[in-house]
Structure formats: C-alpha cells, structure tokens
Structure 1
Amino acid sequence: MTGQEKKFSRRNILKGAGGLAAGGSLLGLGSAHARMRGEPRLPPGKVMKDKIDAYRGPLPNRPGAQPNDGYSVRRAADVFRRKLDAARRYLTTQPPPQETNGDEERYADYRASFTKTLPHDSRGRVDPAAYDSLLRAMRSGRPADFERIQLDNTVRTRKLANPQGAFVLPMSGGDGHAARIKPPPSFTSDEMAAEMLELYWKSLLRDVPFTRLESDPLMRRALTDINSFPHIVGKPKRGLHTAQTLFRGETPGDLVGPYISQFLWYDVPYGSYTMPQRYPIAAQDTNFVTESAEWLAVQRGAVPRSGVRGPERFISTPRDLGAFVHADFPYQTYLNAALILLGMGPDVVAAGNPTNRQTTEGGFVSFGGPDILDLVALTARASLCGAWYQKWLVHRRLRPENYGGRLQFQAAGMDDYDLPRLLLETEALGRTRRQYGNVFLPQSYAEGAPTHPSYPAGHACIAGACTTMLKAWFREDKVLSRPVVADETGHTLLPYSGTLTIGGELNKLASNISLGRDWAGVHYRSDGIDGMEMGEAMAIDILRDRSVLYNEQFDGFTLTTFAGQTIRIQNGRVSGGRAGY
C-alpha cells in the first residue's frame, strides 16, 4: 500500500471521524440542552478545521482497482468528504435568533399556551404547576422529566403527542432546530381574532359543496363580516376579499380553477392497481365540542367518543376535506401525487433531469421513481422534526378550540382575557351563539385538536416540503390533460374546461392539506401558511445535499417557490432566490 493509500485507509478515516465528533463535543456543538437554553453555537475553531481539511487532499485513483484496495478507499473517502462538506455548511451557517410572540412570558396563568391533557379547573384554566412540569421537561430534555409531566387524572386522558420528538437529530438536510419561522400572532391581537373569525365562518360553511361555495348566500354574509373586521387574513384583492379569494390558499395556483387540487381527484396508479380517490366522509351537520362539559373534557384530554362516518365519495365539501386530513398518513398525499405524475410518462419530467438527454439509459435509482419516492418520504419526516421543535420547544401556541373557550367565558362575564370585543359582535359569533347557545368553536373531530401545540401545523410543514420536492422533479408549466371537478354529491367526477398546470395544482394541493385542517377547526391560517414556508426551506436544504450526490452530468434542480421566485439548486448551492433556512 502506498503512502497516499495509507493516508486514506479506513482506520485513518474513522480516526478522523472520531476526532471530528470529539471536536464538536468540545465546542459544545452536540449539546441539545445548550441549544434549548438559547446559548449560541460556536463557530468551528482550529481543531475542527484541521480535522476537516485533513481529508481534502488528492485521492488515490488507480483505474481498474478491485474492492478492498485503493479504489474502495477512495470511494469511502469521497463519501466521507461529501458528508463532511454538507455538515460543515450547516455548522458554519448560523441561523438568526428564533422569535416568539411573547405570550407565554406575558401571562403567568398560561392562558395563551397549549395546555391540553393537563389538569384544568372548571373554566378551563390550567394548573400552573402542571404546566411548569411540562416546561421543566422541555428545558432539561431528560427523559425522566417527561415521565413526571402532570397529566389530568379526572378523565381517561390521551397522551401528549411526542414532545421528545422535538429533540430528534437529523441525518439528512439541516437540523430542525435551525429551521426558522415568523412568530405567530399574539393572543389579544386583531390578527389572531381575524384568524378565529375565519374559523367560525368555516365551521358554518362546512357542508356547502365547493361547487356552489362561491355563490352560496351564507358566503356573501361571510364576505361582509370578514371584510368589515379591522384585520383581514389571507390575500384579498385590493384589500378586500371576493368570493373567489375567501378561504383560498396564498400561492400561485390557488386562485385558478376548482378549490380542490386535481391531485386529490385523479386516480392513483398503485402498481397493478388503480385507486380511485374516494374516501369515507364524516356525517353532515355533525359537530363536536359545542357545550361546556364536552369542551372541558376535551381540554383535559378525554378519550373521544366515536364520530359517525358516512359512505365513500370524492372530496366535494369542506367537511370531506377535513375528514381526509384527519385520517391521512404524513406523506400520503404527496406519495399519491408522485405516483400520478410518474404515471404520466417522461413528458412531465423536469427539463433538467439528465434522462431527457441520455440516449442509452433511463432513470431508476438516480433520477427515477425510487429516487423521488424516497425524497418524498424522507422530506416528510425531516419537516416534522422542524415542526416539532417549533411546536414544543419554542411557541407552544394554544389551539383554536381553547381560544374559543376563552372567548365563551369572556362573553359570559366569568373571565376577562382582553380579547377583541369586536370579535364577539361579528355575525359569525352571533350565528354560532344562536345555533349552540354559546361561542365555543365547533369542531369536526370528536376529540377536537391533537395533543400537540398548534404552531406550526405539521401537515403544513410536510405539505411545503413534499410539494417542493415534486416541483423540483416535474415540469411545473406542463398543462394537465383531462382536468376534472367533483359534482355536488361527490359521487361523480365531471370534466373541467379550464387550463391547469402541474405547478399550480401542486401548490394548491399543499394549501388544501394545510388549510383543510382549518376547515375542521383545529388550526389557524398562520399555522398553515407559515408552516408551508418553513417546510419549503427545509426541503431546499435537502435538495442542496442531494444535488452533489449524482454521477450524471446534472444542471441542478429548478423550481418556483411559494412566493413565486424561480430558484436553481446545483452543486450544493442555491441561486435566484432563498437559500433554505
């Protein structure tokens, strides 16, 4: 073995890797506890630099080399160096401080924080000692402290949804703890009240078919009510919503064509089986958490009674959409979309895919079906890591059902939470009060919201991330053939005559899933819109890593962001727009 080959022996590579890990530990870079406390992560020092640079010299290259000699060592060193380059980029890129809305520090009684499953008094106010036990666990990160979190003992209580998931370490893309998101609206702000106003109207319109939503008389009342409020959510035209913009998403494509994306209606090719997208629906006019005792039990985490399920049909009402996002698995929608697009053939593959110009081979392990299907699944979990960090370690935002309870007790004169009084005077709240005798926010799900904080929505982070992957892989400008729209009953798909593109319908798909949870009453609009943006940034970083791993001559991934910017990701770099987080 030559001296150069000895330098790149497996033993020396592993020795260097161990030194790198030790260097990271000495620098405090491996401490989740330090990150939680908000301590700055130190930039790499000389020890770290020496370990990295030790493997940047020339590699042995002997044509025809056999396994277990210099060639295999070269491969191992190349893999190690590429991983090291990616890791160094994340190490040396310091994200800005993550801001909060200050609500948890502002209120000693934790009125604006997520407290579900913890002990509450008869008006839904959390036991501060119990909430402190949750904070103690989140701040220490010790598994034993999570076992000491004080859950409610007056009902058969659901468990918290994996707060330790906030500490998961990544092996693909960036660290979820480095992902950044704007702070959510504060508890007493007009913006948060406007988000609640939208949710009350969505609860009133759940059973109106999408095909006549824009022309429904109740939609006109919603427009007047929402446009008259001091703050207006979404993307209104010239400051005011129209029937064509209200309740829609905020990306290019959301305002074009039917409310529902084609990727939620097209048949899905699952191997030799073609799956029509008919799903079990929730029973019409059946809402939950609409009276005081039920609301309190839900806050305490009571195991829910079973909801009534209807027959299968195509998604045709907001309630149908809410039922779909109640039972889906994390990347189901984007796996379906990928399979649909792969089934359309090579004409829809992105122009930059090397298989378009290769004359002797097609894509498979690289630039083929297994590649994009892997990216969809991998990116979904990575985005959840970022979401769980923000949910549990940063914001701990209360769910809309809890805000509705605060509003009810303020309206009844039992508590004063300083919530905007104009909200109580809106038509949406008046209609809710007349229907139920109170202003608790009606829920689509018997259990109400999940047992994890509201901001950001996990569904939205996945939507932003997975949709970004699909836009990088397929031609966004390609016009879809034979678009459809579900009829009012949801039993039949009818031809749609408008022009719809892959990119627009993928954006719409992300919004449908993100805001579909709003139709059920379990999320605010900002949970979805901001979560999509964060998921997009996390996906861009994964694409940066993936872009340096191929053997093919590759000009990079090109895609259009939710903000309408065209970016290219090539050789680990992003040009033309945002560069991940």
Structure 2
Amino acid sequence: MSLYQRKFRAFRIRTKAALFYKKVPIRQHVSNGDEERYPNKIGNYSKGLPHNELGEVDLDAYNKYIAALDSGDPDAFENIPLGGGRKLVNPQAAYAYELVGPDSHQLVLPPPPPFSSAQLAGEMVEDYWQALTRDVPFNEYETNPLTIAAAKELSSLSRFRGPTINGQVTPQILYRKDLPGALIGPYISQFLWKDIPYVGTEIVQRYRTTVAGDDHLTSYEDWLAVQNGEAPPSSSTFDTTPRYIRNLRDLGEYVHNDVSVESGLGAFFILLKYGPEVIDPNNPYLDSDTQVGFATFGATHAVDFVSRAARPALLAAWFQKWLVHRRLRPEAFGGRIHNKLTGAADYPIHPEVLNSKALALIFEKYGTYLLPQAYPEGSPTHPSYPAGHSSFIGAMVTMLKAFFNENFVIPNPVVASSDGLSLIPYEGTLTVGGELNKLAYNISIGRDAAGVHLRTSGINGLKLGEAIAIGILRDYRETYNEDFEGFTLTTFDGEQIKI
C-alpha cells in the first residue's frame, strides 16, 4: 500500500465512523417532569446555591443557574450566585465533544422516578437502611437483626426494584444488583480484595477507612449549611488500621477517595497475572506460532482501552446530569422528608418512606429524619442522575469483558474476615464475568451506601458507560490489520454481543 493509499484509507475509516453517528436518528431527552411540576424546585438539584430555612432554593439564583445551562456561555457560569464557598463541579463538561464513540448528547436514559413516586420512596428506604447497616460486616448479613429487618422491609415495598428470590429480598442479596453472575459468592468482588501486581511489587488491598459510627449531617443546622455550599461542619475520624473492605462503610470510603480509573485498572492487573488462559478466545494472537500481541491485542492495547473509556463515560453522564435531569441528591430528599414529618412543610412524598421502619430507627438514633452521610461534605456539588462512578466503571468493566475471557474461573478465591484484617479462602466457583459485574455494582452501590446516590442513578449509569465503551470498540473495529473476528462480551442485561 502506497503512502497515498494509506492516507486515503485512514481518511475513509475516520469518515465512516463519523458518518455512522451522523446518521443516528435524533432522540429526545425526557426528564421526569419534576422541574416543571414544582415551582419551588423541591425535586431538583440545587446544592451550593442559596436556600431558605426549609432548604428550598432561592428562585432567582436557580433561574440564573438554568439560564447559564441553557446558554452554554462560559461567562454566564461565572455569574451563578453561590450560597457559600463550594463550587459547582464542571457543568461545562456537558458540552464537550469526544472524537471516538458516540457523542454524549446522542445517548438517551430513561427518566428517574419522580419525586412523589413509590419507586423513589423505595430507593430512599434502601438508602436509610444502608446508613443504618454501614458497620455490619457482609459476612454477618444473614444473622444480623438490622440486615434481616432491612431485607424484610424492602420486600414489602410496592415498587422496590432490587433483586429478589421468589419475590423476596433476602439478606444474601441485600443491596446488590442483579447483573449476570454477580449474585454468586461474597458481596465484594475478588478484584477489590486480591493483591494487585504493580511494576515488580504487589499492592495489598487494605485501605484507610473511617471508624464505626462516623456519620455526618444528621443535625438540621449542619444539613442546611451544607446545602448552601458552606464548609463541612465536621470531619472524618479515621481508623488507625487499614482494612480489607468488609462492610458498607469501608466500601463507601473506597469510592470517596478514588479518582476514577483505579478500580478498573486494579482488575486489569489482577487478570493479567493469570496468563494466556484468561485472554478472550477471539484474540487473534492466541493461536499464532510466530507472534504475540502488544500495541494491538496485547496488554498495552487493553490497558489503554480500559482507562480511556472512563472519561467519555463521564462526559456522557455530565450531559445527562446538568442538561437533562438535574435530579436532587438523596441528602436533599432527606431534608424534604424531615421538614414534612416535623410539620415545617407539606411535600408530596410517598407514604412508604414516611412510614418505614428504617426512618423510625433513624429518628430514634439521631433525633432527625435526615439521611446520615458517610462523608462530612455530604454529596458532591453536581446532580445525581446518572451516577458518575457507575458510568465510568460501567465503561471500564465493559472493556475488560471485551479483552478477557468471562468464563475463566478465578483461582483461589477469598473473602475478607469480619474485622477486615485478613483474607480467608472462599469455597466456591467465581468467574471473571461474574466478578467484573460484581465490581461494577460494588463501585456503584458504594456511593449509595455513603448516602450520596440512589439505586436508579447507579444501574442506569452502568448502562450508559457500557454504551460508551461499545461505541469506542466499534469505531476501532476497522483499524486493525489482524484477522480478527470481533470483540465479544455479555452486556449488563445478559445479552451476548459481538462487535
């Protein structure tokens, strides 16, 4: 092939990918209607703006915030009135373009459950139970009275959408997501427990965590200050001993400190140490007598794709967060519940959360109906839907499924002891596919357990990230010289696809 032919072919590959997305029909993005339904904006994100004593946003500030988002004018964002020192997290990312995979504005998510719905009430009941059970070791879920009560109450809710067995939530599947293979075995993925090989050494996955009972924003004064963007009124108290992740508090602290790619890269390095048997069977170099993969279909190819998928997934999430849904955080919804039950305001909140046992226990323990936060600052200053962590881990896990054999059985599986100080052999069979899906929901639900997200923000974030990764794989499909049949993987919905 001449240099001229090469240049023309490169142009054709890039043009074909661009034309593919140009031909994708325009789809409308639909919110749940809360922003139009409630003039006082009680169903939408407003943290960081000024609020009144009920935690309801100043409407003049909200209108300027919406005007900035509608215009996309960088100068307009500098004129959004803030209530305190906390800044909004990167709303202009919603307008950024990505040169590989689908444009962030082309992917559509279903609207989240409305403010007054039974489904949102059920998600809040789950968040309250997660706050109550942050310190219960996963190993003790089947015997602890709190986790048994949580499973029982979640089973009774009319619109709860977590996994069930014969129509019932059980302690064994409490707070999980029903992804292929992910309900098998321990709650935490092997990829968050096993040592990570790294440049001639190994990283032991014992992490700094906070002490039992280290909860925040349970007083109304503190809650209101943080809604206004003021500095956190308290700070975390840390355990002096690093631990393997053994409960929701540890998991929540892990996803408090990661930047984005750490969990996916850790899984990549663990998988790499298992050798050729864990490589995806479609890899064109598995049967070669003379070659091995490197820049294509080797470790450098895989690690690039796994890590590069995270940012485009976040761009897609940020578009949905800021320009479509602007869903309120569970922290803010807890304030609405508190003001409703104390008679300070009358909000259309579904009775299944107002009458829940979880909420009664919260009030008994803290003296308010606020959702206890694992982080002193509460939620980040960006909207809740979809979850950013879910989006990037959904993309990274999808890439890992494309490059590795989902059916490979993980050798010598482990489970963390109840004190988080050691790993114990686990007697059972765990596959790469199941444990990658488990990793996805661990990173997702860890944010729910901290009090900053809700179930639907997580599962739809995973699917958004998956769509981004599939698009990237598709765009690169014609760039290889090897005789390659295509990437195969199992989606979060259980569908086997080839790209």
TM bucket normalised to smaller: over 0.9
> Within 1, Cα distance between the matches of 2:344 and 2:363?
17
> Within 2, Cα distance between the matches of 1:182 and 1:282?
35
> Within 2, Cα distance between the matches of 1:336 and 1:287?
29
TM-score if structure 1 supplies the norm length? 0.84
User: CA 1:95–1:469 in structure 2 vs 1: closer, same or farther (change >3 Å)?
Assistant: farther
> Within 2, Cα distance between the matches of 1:357 and 1:302?
60
> Within 1, Cα distance between the matches of 2:13 and 2:405?
29
* Paired residue type of 2:361: R
**Equivalent residues in 2 for 1:81-160 (5 A)?**
81-152=12-83, 155=84, 157-160=85-88
Q: Deviations over 1:460-507 (max 9, x none)?
A: 011111101000100000111000000011110011010000000000
Partner of 2:277: 347
Partner of 1:576: none
* Paired residue type of 1:128: L
The worse-fitting range, judged by mean Cα deviation, of 171-180 and 452-461 is 171-180
> Within 2, Cα distance between the matches of 1:368 and 1:436?
53
2:92 equivalent to 1:161: no
> Within 1, Cα distance between the matches of 2:245 and 2:443?
12
Partner of 2:470: 540
* Paired residue type of 1:475: N
Partner of 1:217: 145
**Equivalent residues in 2 for 1:303-322 (5 A)?**
303-304=231-232, 305-310=234-239, 311-322=241-252
Q: 2:177 aligns with which of 249, 255, 271?
A: 249
Which runs of 5 or more structure 1 residues have no equivalent in the other structure? Answer: 1-60, 62-70, 570-581
Partner of 2:348: 418
Partner of 2:432: 502
Structure 2 residue matching 1:312: 3-state secondary structure: coil
**Equivalent residues in 2 for 1:342-381 (5 A)?**
342-381=272-311
Partner of 1:45: none
Q: Deviations over 1:53-91 (max 9, x none)?
A: xxxxxxxx4xxxxxxxxx222222211110100000000
> Within 1, Cα distance between the matches of 2:352 and 2:407?
44
Contact 2:122 2:352 in 1 (8 A): no
> Displacement, 1:110?
0.7
Partner of 2:226: 298
> Within 2, Cα distance between the matches of 1:317 and 1:379?
29
> Within 2, Cα distance between the matches of 1:354 and 1:225?
51
* Paired residue type of 1:186: P
> Within 2, Cα distance between the matches of 1:162 and 1:98?
21
Partner of 2:110: 182
**Equivalent residues in 2 for 1:465-476 (5 A)?**
465-476=395-406
Partner of 1:334: 264
Q: How many residues align?
A: 497
Contact 2:152 2:169 in 1 (8 A): no
> Within 1, Cα distance between the matches of 2:31 and 2:104?
16
Structure 2 residue matching 1:309: 3-state secondary structure: coil
Contact 1:289 1:442 in 2 (8 A): yes
The worse-fitting range, judged by mean Cα deviation, of 73-82 and 325-334 is 73-82
> Displacement, 1:214?
2.4
Contact 1:316 1:490 in 2 (8 A): yes
Q: Deviations over 1:150-201 (max 9, x none)?
A: 111xx4x211000001011111111011111111000000000000000000
Q: 1:201 aligns with which of 123, 126, 129?
A: 129
Partner of 2:201: 273
> Within 2, Cα distance between the matches of 1:468 and 1:475?
12
Contact 1:250 1:529 in 2 (8 A): no
Contact 1:208 1:318 in 2 (8 A): yes
> Displacement, 1:95?
4.2
The worse-fitting range, judged by mean Cα deviation, of 383-392 and 234-243 is 234-243
2:6 equivalent to 1:72: no
Q: 1:437 aligns with which of 351, 357, 367?
A: 367
> Within 1, Cα distance between the matches of 2:374 and 2:236?
9
The worse-fitting range, judged by mean Cα deviation, of 234-243 and 425-434 is 234-243
Contact 2:141 2:148 in 1 (8 A): no
> Within 1, Cα distance between the matches of 2:130 and 2:313?
27
* Paired residue type of 1:150: P
* Paired residue type of 2:16: D
* Paired residue type of 2:62: Y
* Paired residue type of 2:245: I
Partner of 2:329: 399
* Paired residue type of 1:331: V
Q: Percent identity?
A: 47
Structure 2 residue matching 1:110: 3-state secondary structure: coil
> Displacement, 1:303?
2.1
TM-score if structure 2 supplies the norm length? 0.98
Q: Deviations over 1:208-256 (max 9, x none)?
A: 0111122211112112222222222212123221222221112012210
Q: Deviations over 1:24-54 (max 9, x none)?
A: xxxxxxxxxxxxxxxxxxxxxxxxxxxxxxx
Q: Which has the higher contact order (CA 8 A, sep 6+)?
A: 2
The worse-fitting range, judged by mean Cα deviation, of 517-526 and 529-538 is 529-538
> Within 2, Cα distance between the matches of 1:239 and 1:186?
24
* Paired residue type of 1:216: N
* Paired residue type of 2:347: Y
* Paired residue type of 2:53: S
Contact 2:118 2:352 in 1 (8 A): no
The worse-fitting range, judged by mean Cα deviation, of 390-399 and 250-259 is 250-259
> Within 1, Cα distance between the matches of 2:147 and 2:423?
24
> Displacement, 1:438?
1.1
Contact 1:95 1:180 in 2 (8 A): no
The worse-fitting range, judged by mean Cα deviation, of 397-406 and 309-318 is 309-318
> Within 1, Cα distance between the matches of 2:479 and 2:238?
47
> Displacement, 1:397?
0.3
* Paired residue type of 2:206: R
> Within 2, Cα distance between the matches of 1:302 and 1:179?
35
